[in-house]
Structure 1
Amino acid sequence: MNEEQIRQQQARKGEEPWHWFGPYVSDRQWGTVREDYSPDGQPWTYTTHDMARSLAYRWGEEAIGGVCDEQQLLCLAPAFWNGQDPILKERLFGLSNPEGNHGEDVKELYYYLDSTPTHSYMQMLYKYPQHAFPYDWLIQENNRRGRQKTEFELQDTCVFRENRYFDIFIEYAKAGPQDLLMQITVHNRGTQEAPLHVLPQLWFRNTWRWAPGSYQPSLGIAEGGHICVDHAKLPELQLYCEQMAEQAAELLFCDNETNAVRLYQTANATAYCKDGINNYVVSGKEDAINPAQQGTKAAAHIVLQVPAGESRTVRVRLAAPGLSDPFGKFAELLNTRKAEADAYYDDLQAGLATDDARNVQRQALGGMLWNKQFYYYDVSEWLAGDPAGPKPPEQRRHGRNSTWPHLNNADIISMPDKWEYPWYAAWDLAFHCIPLAMVDSEFAKHQLRLLCQDWYMHPSGQLPAYEWKLEDANPPVHAWATWRVYKMDKKQHGRGDTAFLEGVFHRLLLNFTWWVNRKDRHNRNVFEGGFLGLDNIGVFDRSAPLPTGGHIEQADGTAWMAMFALNMMRIALELARTNTVYQDMASKFFEHFLYIAHAMSTMADEEIDMWDEEDEFYYDVLNLSDNGRVPLRIRSMVGLIPLFAVEVLDLDTLTEMPWFVARLNWFLDHRPQLAALVSRWQEPGKGQRHLLSLLRGHRMKQLLRRMLDEAEFLSDYGVRALSRCHLEHPYQFQHQGGIDAVVKYEPGESSTSLFGGNSNWRGPIWMPVNFLIIESLQRFHHYYGDDFKVEYPTGSGRYSTLLEISQALTERLMKLFLRDEHGHRPIFGDDQQLQNDPHFTDYLLFHEYFHGNTGRGLGASHQTGWTGLVAKLLHPRHPDE
């Protein structure tokens, strides 16, 4: 057992709180629903980037590479100033949804490079221009471009030319659970000496302004010229600042309080507001900081002169008071933790053949771990307003999230992207848990349990979707992730955590019932669900009332529910190993799966099914208000999702479940019309296995024929979300009410404003559904074996097993990140600096999705949680491992 694994074990047993400090500070708090108190529900304009330096937030904090305790009472993060910018660089800049030509988008270059599971060592890189940061240029150019053009990025400006920028490496290491080392190493990549102001900042989240008489903590000067922390809920701490040869650190103090004069032209609650340090450093306003050197926000101000091609280092330490020589063994401690991180990943990556693959996986996992965030949102308080604040507009009581007053979140949660998506999303989080389980299965299990708690889950049984619309429906993949994490955890520790499995299973019974009661409009086992995470994939916004009237019977919604039923059946069978009661539950979900399979295959007394015999593909079906029915013949991921509903039962499993088998046999004997729809249940496959699937061999082959066709779904880099056939033959929907809508293959950014326009499912490659395709093919192969082959690629004349195809698809996805024969990475597109500059090319971004033709990274760029699945794909295993 290596040192990091020992720390994990100590934390798991409650012996040492190694997770007490972590990267739990958001990359963006402004522009979030939580901070929006507008009457019309407009988060992007109610709090803005320009307001952020002066606004004390209600629900959380933001920073560049910030860390905090588990309740975010105390935060630590660096800030910078190059002497040219109009503001201190305390937070990452990006465009709001109305400003970006494809929605919200961060406009910075930063990379989460490394982290251990306990955050005993962490590293990130921030690239800071020596020129004035081009805030206005980025806004104006993206506004000018429109949706048909690519986004204008920071590297498209002149700021990195001639290498006139700083590479700033931010490292943290823990000498103990409450002893944190922070090292900031600044490299001048340019050809001339350049100054840089470095300000390690310490501050309290504002917890005192919202109710009269609340306790207010304080920061002040400690003996020896350090910053002392006085908070009733925290241990005694000091921020030790190393005295450098160039200069002593100047200690600056203000308060984490809103500058109401600047923002609202009303009186301030304090003379020294949140932006006081900014105003002192950038504008020279000496009266902006507290001369008594106390407050609730403080900084150590250090000015570096960095020679061309050289580096300078700043070191601080947050630890207990009384350290006689806080920096005497600083370098030794930091190097030890870094070496322990190397040893931990050496063990984890033993099966990876190349340094490049190891680098990709380590940064992917590092990004997953950096993307933890303290997420605080009490909807009841948010709707009612704070006692010390103004009463919210009456519209709020009937507006966004007003039907979720029970929701009260204050936890460390894995975020999709802490700048673009600084809030959890139900189906994103399920995918996050797979790579997280590789390094910290306890945290992964905690995440899955969390969304099922009473203060998350709606009393009706619905899981919260995301803060912009809690009542939206994400695909029901929670049971799938629970089973996968359970199996991975069991593989790692030699025994299954049945308490975890059973607890989540019982909560998911409520969720399954919610789906059946709320999303099966006519009680026919045909589900609607809404947009189901696929944003603009269809003609309409599937979460909104249809312009035609009527409703959509969704092929993906129904298939997701078939998958949900099989996942629940599989969990029940595992629990039945130690409690025979669960055989009954397994039977219930087996039967429900068959009813859904029947509904997908033939709509009784209807002329149009979801399976189109002519096209041999699954389509949504639009039911019009006049009772007409129209198949929406868009070849998209919607029609491939039925592949995901597949389960293989081994003979050993069935032998242990006599009551379950007896019930199945009776059911299949007495419901022959249902039994005929299952993939030859009575015919055991390879190794005496039995298959449950929506697809029999013929239908599966026809679906795969399209999916594996390079003229349709198959890209060099994975499976596209929309068939390329819609480039020359766009799908057009016309209706007598004057509706004329088109869906066209768009391999890059979205040209529509559906769901904000910042994501696109009309052609790009998305990692989560590709991951499920690969797993499904592995499961089908587990049943059919090597004798079952299909043409791959379609039209090639070459035939492969389903396992070989799953491996080939994995390789295509890996190509996105790995260097090709020319040393290039497709994710970087045609950006020559990213492709060729040694200070760029090995630092990776993990994008939300990828261009369907070129593989270029698109959308949210910083370890969007589900793209972290690349870490698991680099270690391919059977889907039960």
Structure 2
Amino acid sequence: MTAEHQRLAVNAAKKIPLEQWGPYLSERQWGTVREDYSPYGDAWHYFPYDHAHCRTYRWGEDGLGGISDFFQNLCFAVALWNGKDPILKERLFGLGNKEGNHGEDVKELYYYLDNLPTHYYMEYLYKYPQQEFPYKKLLEENRRRSREEPEYEILDTGIFDKDEYFDVSITYAKQNARDIFIRVDIRNRYHKAAEITVLPTLWFYNRWNTEDYQDKKPVITSRDRNSVKAAHNRLGAYYFYFQPPQYTLFTENETNLEKVSGTPNKTPFVKDAFHEAVIRNKDLETLRQKRSGTKFAPVYHYLVEPGETKSIYLRLSNRILENPFGGDPAALFQSRKAEADAFYKAVLPANISPEIAAVQRQALAGLLWSKQYYHFDVERWLTTSDGITPVNAGKMNGRNHDWKHLKNQDIIAMPDKWEYPWYAAWDLAFQTIAMALVDPVFAKHQLMLIMREWYMKPDGQIPAYEWNFSDVNPPVQAWAALMVYHIEKDRTGKGDIGFLKRIFQKLLINFTWWINRKDANGNNMFEGGFLGLDNIGVFNRSHSLGGDFQLEQADGTSWMGMYALNMMDMALEIAMKDDSFEDTATKFFEHFVLIAEALNEQGMWNEEDKFFYDTLSIGRSPVQLRVQSVVGLTTLFAVSVIEKKTLAKLSDFKKRITWFENYRLKNNRYWPNEEHSDGEQTLLSLVPQKRLIYLLERLLNEEEFLSPGGIRALSKYHEKHPYTINIGGTDYNVKYDPGDSTSDFFGGNSNWRGPVWIPINYLIIQSIRQYGKFYGDRLLVEYPAGSGKKLDLESVADQLTGRVISLFRKDKTGRRPLHGKYNWFYQKPGNEHLLLFYEYFHGDTSHGLGASHQTGWTSLVAELISELASRPATQAPAAAKQQNVGATSQ
């Protein structure tokens, strides 16, 4: 057992399996719903980036490569100044939703290089320009560009063209859970010497200005030239040790009212005082003389020669230490790095190339860096003021006003700590699958957390995301719970039945909510709205068209079929240990049959196109919305194989489904089961074999869904054949859009009309693999369609996995598809190993788009690598072997 596994075992025994300190500091708190106290609900306008350095937050903190304790009482991050910028670089810059031509977007270069589940070792890299940061240029050019043009990124500004920048590496190594060494390395990548000022900053989250604060105000006080004491009633005392600086600065984490509202400040000790002191020498001596405060930084100023690295060692500990940097401070970092190497050697496949191992490890590092303290009490947010805007009727009756029960204060894995620094229900489900590779206990905790009473609505609805908790995400929690359960069981040999029982009870409540709220006609055909797919539809599916129009969704129905089947599978797994769950398994089995019947026989299948579509009822006349998209492909996801030995042990379940089958067949009713001739396995699926083959013909066609990097969200067929429908006198259109979104649905910052999305690819691959396990070599399909080469379905799944992994692989010229036109930068010496994990990928070129650090669900590539590596090469035909990417034999 590695040292990290031993630490994880200790955490697993805790009620909440967390380390007290971790990367829990957000990378963007401004522009969030939580900080919006306006009457009009425009979070980006109410708290813009320009206010972030001078205005205190109410619900959390943010910083650059930082850490905090798990209640975010005390925070640490690094601030920088290149001698030219108008502000300190304290946080990552990006555009608000209405400032970018494709919505909000971070405009920085930063990378999550390494992390352990317990955060005993963490590496973060930030690239800081030596010329003035191009804030204005990025803002103006993106505002000028249309939706048909690409985003204007920081690498487009030319500021990195000549390597005139610093590599700022921030590395953490814990001595123990409450004793953390920090090293900040500043390397000059330019061919001339350059100056930089570094402020390693410690501060308290400002809770003391809230109405209900009763504790003594925390304080950081000077001890000597190289240490301060941070005292907090609940956290206790911590000591921050630092190597000799040029000088130290104290201030208060208080709003600069003069800048924000024009009200004169009572003292110069405000949140952005360090900016004024370092850059403009304003009140510098006053701040240097101050001996206490709620924000503190030692200040280091260096002239760094070409290629030189300056290192700063710091230490945050709950102990008084006479010689905090005694001996060789680098030794602990080397030791923890070795422990990280040992841990990943133990959990990652041994039979993959170093290149693919690096992809997998960085994906998991980003996922672990995405843990964030999330604090939001909706009732308190609605009924209190932020000290700037009074409580108002607009907010009281506006966004999320009916979610007053929601009171969150937890560490949660975020989709992206800058672009999406708030949890999303289905993102989190996907995140737990990759998390299970390294920390299954935390993965299970996250799935349970979102269904606790302070998250789930009393009626059973799971909160979608903070912009609108009432929006509906696909119900993938049961599927994710099963995936996490089996990943842990496969790795440890023991399945956590207790976890399945606990989450099953919560899922029952949510499943009932879906049945009662999203099946308006009671015909087992479901709605759901946008279902996380933003602009996939011809119109915004979250908004009613009014009148006699009613939408019944192929994906809503398919997700519910998948949900019912997942619940049945979960009940069967539990019933093998506790037969009281047999009845429930039967209930979900029968519900699945009814949903399958509705999907296949009530107008969603188009025999001409051989595809499933949403149907829009106009009065009594249903019209199919003939858009060939992932909406129709979700029908593949509901598939399960029941083994004969399961049926043999659960005799009551077998008796009931046999009766149900006989009854339905006798009365010429739809039946979704298929059995092997030997009776050893039974296949349950929404899609009959004949229709499965039709769908696969489209799925595996490179002129339709199959792209170089995986399955597109919309068929390329619509490039030459845009879809148009007139509804109530208005024309609605969908065309193939392989890159950035050209529509403004849901802010216009993501696009489901052509790009490749890894979570959908993951579901498709898992589903095809399930079909393959049942059909074996009895069902072969052309791959790619029209090639004349036939493969069994498990080999097709291997091929698709290979395409997704290829997004991150170097080609013969050293270029990675995901970097697109920026490969010139990532082929430079020292940058070849750097990866970004984008939200989605261009449907034709495979370059990355959307959020650039979406290791939330793009980290699923790590699980795909493990799965492909576990496949015996002898099982795959020769063509599939060629795609068995990353094998050491290559």
TM beyond 0.5: yes
Corresponding residue for residue 531 of structure 2:
532
Q: 1:422 to 1:674 in 2, by over 3 A?
A: farther
| 8 Å contact kept, 1:128–1:165 | yes
1:414-425 matched pairs, under 5 angstroms: 414-425=413-424
Q: 1:673 to 1:436 in 2, by over 3 A?
A: farther
* Paired amino acid for 1:229: A
CA displacement at 1:387 relative to structure 2: 9.5
Corresponding residue for residue 657 of structure 1:
650
Query: Which of 265, 269, 272 pairs up with 2:269?
Result: 272
1:648 partnered with 2:646: no
1:476-495 matched pairs, under 5 angstroms: 476-495=475-494
| 8 Å contact kept, 2:629–2:715 | yes
| 8 Å contact kept, 2:27–2:64 | yes
| 8 Å contact kept, 2:37–2:389 | no
CA displacement at 1:548 relative to structure 2: 7.0
Partners of 1:250 and 1:312 lie apart in 2 by 17
What SS is found at the alignment partner of 1:722? coil
What SS is found at the alignment partner of 1:209? coil
CA displacement at 1:740 relative to structure 2: 1.2
1:192-271 matched pairs, under 5 angstroms: 192-211=192-211, 214=214, 215-243=216-244, 248-268=245-265, 270-271=267-268
What SS is found at the alignment partner of 1:34? helix
Corresponding residue for residue 30 of structure 2:
30
| 8 Å contact kept, 2:187–2:310 | yes
* Paired amino acid for 1:254: T
Query: Which of 847, 861, 869 pairs up with 1:870?
Result: 861
1:69 partnered with 2:72: no
* Paired amino acid for 1:768: P
Q: 1:213 to 1:760 in 2, by over 3 A?
A: closer
| 8 Å contact kept, 2:363–2:855 | no
1:54-453 matched pairs, under 5 angstroms: 54-211=54-211, 214=214, 215-243=216-244, 248-268=245-265, 270-286=267-283, 289=287, 291-328=289-326, 329-386=328-385, 391-453=390-452
CA displacement at 1:601 relative to structure 2: 1.1
1:471-510 matched pairs, under 5 angstroms: 471-510=470-509
What SS is found at the alignment partner of 2:128? strand
Q: 1:566 to 1:529 in 2, by over 3 A?
A: same
CA displacement at 1:501 relative to structure 2: 0.9
Q: Deviations over 1:316-356 (max 9, x none)?
A: 10013421211124211111001111111122224342111
Deviates more, 1:142-151 or 1:785-794: 785-794
* Paired amino acid for 1:672: L
Corresponding residue for residue 628 of structure 1:
621
What SS is found at the alignment partner of 1:31? coil
| 8 Å contact kept, 1:352–1:358 | no
| 8 Å contact kept, 2:83–2:197 | yes
| 8 Å contact kept, 2:352–2:869 | no
Corresponding residue for residue 639 of structure 1:
632
Partners of 1:79 and 1:398 lie apart in 2 by 39
1:805 partnered with 2:796: yes
Deviates more, 1:775-784 or 1:465-474: 775-784
Partners of 1:551 and 1:290 lie apart in 2 by 67
* Paired amino acid for 2:818: I
Q: Deviations over 1:246-279 (max 9, x none)?
A: xx34211101111111100124465401001111
| 8 Å contact kept, 2:444–2:484 | yes
Partners of 2:424 and 2:122 lie apart in 1 by 25
Deviates more, 1:341-350 or 1:419-428: 341-350
Partners of 1:547 and 1:418 lie apart in 2 by 37
Deviates more, 1:59-68 or 1:860-869: 860-869
Deviates more, 1:860-869 or 1:362-371: 860-869
| 8 Å contact kept, 1:193–1:307 | yes
Q: 1:665 to 1:16 in 2, by over 3 A?
A: closer
CA displacement at 1:162 relative to structure 2: 1.4
* Paired amino acid for 1:118: T
Q: 1:819 to 1:668 in 2, by over 3 A?
A: same
Partners of 1:765 and 1:16 lie apart in 2 by 36
TM-score, structure 1 as length reference: 0.96
Partners of 1:654 and 1:276 lie apart in 2 by 70
Partners of 1:674 and 1:520 lie apart in 2 by 25
* Paired amino acid for 1:610: M
Q: Deviations over 1:141-171 (max 9, x none)?
A: 0011110000100010121121100011110
* Paired amino acid for 1:719: I
| 8 Å contact kept, 2:249–2:290 | no
1:724 partnered with 2:716: yes
Partners of 1:60 and 1:452 lie apart in 2 by 23
* Paired amino acid for 1:64: L
Corresponding residue for residue 610 of structure 1:
604
Partners of 1:340 and 1:415 lie apart in 2 by 26
Q: Deviations over 1:598-649 (max 9, x none)?
A: 111112xxxxx1000111100000112x333211000000011000010100
| 8 Å contact kept, 1:102–1:757 | yes
1:514 partnered with 2:513: yes
CA displacement at 1:669 relative to structure 2: 1.2
Partners of 2:22 and 2:552 lie apart in 1 by 45
Q: 1:584 to 1:324 in 2, by over 3 A?
A: same
TM-score, structure 2 as length reference: 0.95
* Paired amino acid for 1:589: F
Corresponding residue for residue 877 of structure 2:
none
Which structure 1 residue ranges, 5 or more long, are not aligned?
604-608
RMSD across aligned C-alpha pairs, in angstroms? Answer: 1.9
CA displacement at 1:389 relative to structure 2: 7.4
What SS is found at the alignment partner of 2:275? helix
Q: 1:686 to 1:374 in 2, by over 3 A?
A: farther
Partners of 1:186 and 1:45 lie apart in 2 by 35
Deviates more, 1:845-854 or 1:249-258: 249-258
Q: Deviations over 1:90-131 (max 9, x none)?
A: 000000000000000000000001001100000011000000
1:797-876 matched pairs, under 5 angstroms: 797-876=788-867
Q: 1:268 to 1:866 in 2, by over 3 A?
A: same
| 8 Å contact kept, 1:711–1:725 | yes
CA displacement at 1:489 relative to structure 2: 1.6
* Paired amino acid for 2:615: V
Query: Which of 690, 698, 702 pairs up with 2:694?
Result: 702
* Paired amino acid for 1:370: W
Q: Deviations over 1:338-393 (max 9, x none)?
A: 11111111222243421110110010000000000000000010011159776411
Partners of 2:722 and 2:690 lie apart in 1 by 28
CA displacement at 1:547 relative to structure 2: 6.3
What SS is found at the alignment partner of 2:199? strand
Deviates more, 1:13-22 or 1:34-43: 13-22
CA displacement at 1:684 relative to structure 2: 2.5
CA displacement at 1:877 relative to structure 2: 5.9
CA displacement at 1:785 relative to structure 2: 1.2
CA displacement at 1:880 relative to structure 2: 13
Partners of 1:854 and 1:123 lie apart in 2 by 31
Corresponding residue for residue 879 of structure 2:
none
Q: 1:225 to 1:309 in 2, by over 3 A?
A: closer
What SS is found at the alignment partner of 2:229? strand
Q: Deviations over 1:14-38 (max 9, x none)?
A: 4998711000000100000000000
Partners of 2:132 and 2:217 lie apart in 1 by 37
Number of aligned residues: 869
| 8 Å contact kept, 1:778–1:879 | no
What SS is found at the alignment partner of 2:484? helix
Which structure 2 residue ranges, 5 or more long, are not aligned?
873-890
1:796 partnered with 2:795: no
| 8 Å contact kept, 1:97–1:103 | yes
